[in-house]
Amino acid sequence: MSGGPDPLFGLKNNFYLGAFQAAINESNVGGLSEAASVERDCLVYRSYIALGSYQLVIDEISSSAPTALQAVKLLAMYFQGGSNKEMALTSIQEWLADPAIASNPTLILVAGTIYAHERMYNDALKITHVGGTLDLCALNVQIYLKMNRTDFAEKQLKLMQQIDEDHTLTQLANAWCNICVGGAKIQEAFYIFQELCEKYTWTVPLMNGMAICYMHMGRYGEAETFLLEALNKDAKDAETISNLIVCDLHLGKPTARYMSQLKMSHPDHPLIQRSTTAESAFERAVQPFERA
């Protein structure tokens, strides 16, 4: 396979773009090496996780599966929540302490993803700073942007550009950085999302990216159009719903239905948490006046 076309290119690209069902549909690739087969299976199961099919992943990955697949199973357990989430967090710590498997790239990627979702950004970076793959570099970009460290995110982006400037992950990371830098970079980010859509496929994450660019440019009506199209593709997507709430607030439109929808399907979403905190603070503030 060295120097030749990557037989998993279509599957990988669909996964990176957020076309998860298409990635699953393109997984029937023959003639793969053992390592490539494991990589394929990891991407397929990560696609199922992205679609919310956590139990399917947990049921199908056996205890005798390779480390990479076991790590993906932990990711499914984490997102399923409840006792499985706690078990996944405990297992991740134990596995990272085992020198025999701690350097596995998929385990590192999964651990970094979990810690990032826990907002344990420093812990995530301690694991993922080894880099070496575009996937890990892209995760580092996301973590640094969440920490408002655009400078470090751009350093990771440069590493990605040195590895493969035209890779889909590199293009996406470039767009993410451009959005956070703002100004004239917003238009550049928009063109990246648009080009990826036209070159490959229109996906919910890409349409959200274009909508966010429009919102940064103050073009909320056009942003809403993209978000409604994204909602037609996936009515439960958290980012689409939360972006619609923000967009419609700027348009002066009611958002109660979207807030209820987000609260029902994603009660732990940061927008819901902030809203709940604000409501509680308001209720405490008016209590003295109600008693007066």
Cα–Cα distance between 107 and 1 in angstroms, integer? 24
Q: What is the mean pLDDT of residues 145-151?
A: 96
Whether residue 92 is predicted with pLDDT greater than 80 in this model: the reply is yes
Lowest model confidence (mean pLDDT) among 33-37, 88-92, 195-199, 280-284 = 280-284
How far, in Å, CA of 281 to CA of 205, rounded? 33
The residue among 221, 226, 227, 248 whose CA lies nearest residue 239 is 227
Average pLDDT over every residue of 58-65: 95
- Total number of residues shown for the chain: 292
Q: What angle do CA 250, 118, 246 make, to 5 degrees?
A: 5
Alpha-helix residue ranges (DSSP H) falling in 217-255: 220-233, 238-251
Is the whole model's pTM more than 0.85, yes or no? yes
Work out the pLDDT band at 284, boundaries 50, 70, 90.
low
Q: Given this model, what pLDDT does residue 189 score?
A: 97
Q: For the residues 181-210, what does the mean pLDDT come to?
A: 96
Confidence of residue 261 (pLDDT cuts 50, 70, 90): confident
pLDDT at 278 over 50: yes
* 43 and 75 Cβ atoms separated by less than 8 Å: no
Q: What angle do CA 38, 116, 93 make, to 5 degrees?
A: 65
| b/e burial code for range 186-209 (CB count within 10 A of at least 16 → b) | bebbbebbbebbeebebbbbbbbb
- DSSP readout, 113-152? HHHHHTT-HHHHHHHHTT--SHHHHHHHHHHHHHTT-HHH
d(CA 244, CA 208): 10
Of residues 93 and 275, more confidence is placed in 93
pLDDT at 290 over 70: no
- For the cut 90, the answer to whether the pLDDT of residue 202 exceeds it is yes
The share of the chain scoring above pLDDT 90, in percent, equals: 80
Paired tokens of 42: 């990891």
Name the token pair of 83.
């006792």
Question: What is the rounded average pLDDT for all residues in the chain?
Answer: 91
Check residue 1 and give its pLDDT.
Answer: 38
Segment 187-213 shows an average pLDDT of 96
Q: State yes or no: pLDDT of 268 exceeds 80.
A: no
Average of per-residue pLDDT across 94-112: 94
What's the pLDDT at 232?
A: 95
Token duo for residue 185 = 């970079």
Domains, in order of start, for the chain? 202-291 (1.25.40.10)
Residue 292 in this model has a pLDDT that exceeds 60:
no
